[in-house]
Amino acid sequence: SSSRRERTRARILDAGNELLLEGGYHTVGLEMVARAAGVTRQTVYDQFGSKSGLLGAMIARSEELAGLPGHLQTVMGQVDGLTMLRAMLDAIAAVEPLVYPYSRLVYAARLDDPVAAEMWNARMTSRRAGMGIVFGRLASDGRLRPGIGAEEAAEVAWALTSPPQYEFLVIERGWSIDRYRAHLEATIVARLLTVVEPQREP
- What is the predicted pLDDT for the residue at 61? 92
- Asked if residues 115 and 52 have their Cβ atoms less than 8 Å apart, the reply is yes
- What is the predicted pLDDT for the residue at 201? 56
For the chain, list the domains and their CATH numbers: 2-49 (1.10.10.60), 62-192 (1.10.357.10)
- CA gap 61, 14 in Å, rounded: 10
Q: Where are the alpha helices (DSSP H) in 77-162?
A: 81-109, 114-140, 150-160
Side-chain half-sphere CA neighbours of 164 within 13 A: 7
Q: Which residues pair with 144 in a beta bridge?
A: 193
Mean pLDDT by 10 residues, the chain (202 residues): 88 94 89 95 92 91 92 95 97 95 90 89 94 97 96 98 96 98 97 75 54
- CA gap 34, 89 in Å, rounded: 38
Q: Which of 45, 13, 47, 17 is nearest to 31 (CA)?
A: 45
Q: What is the pTM of this model?
A: 0.86
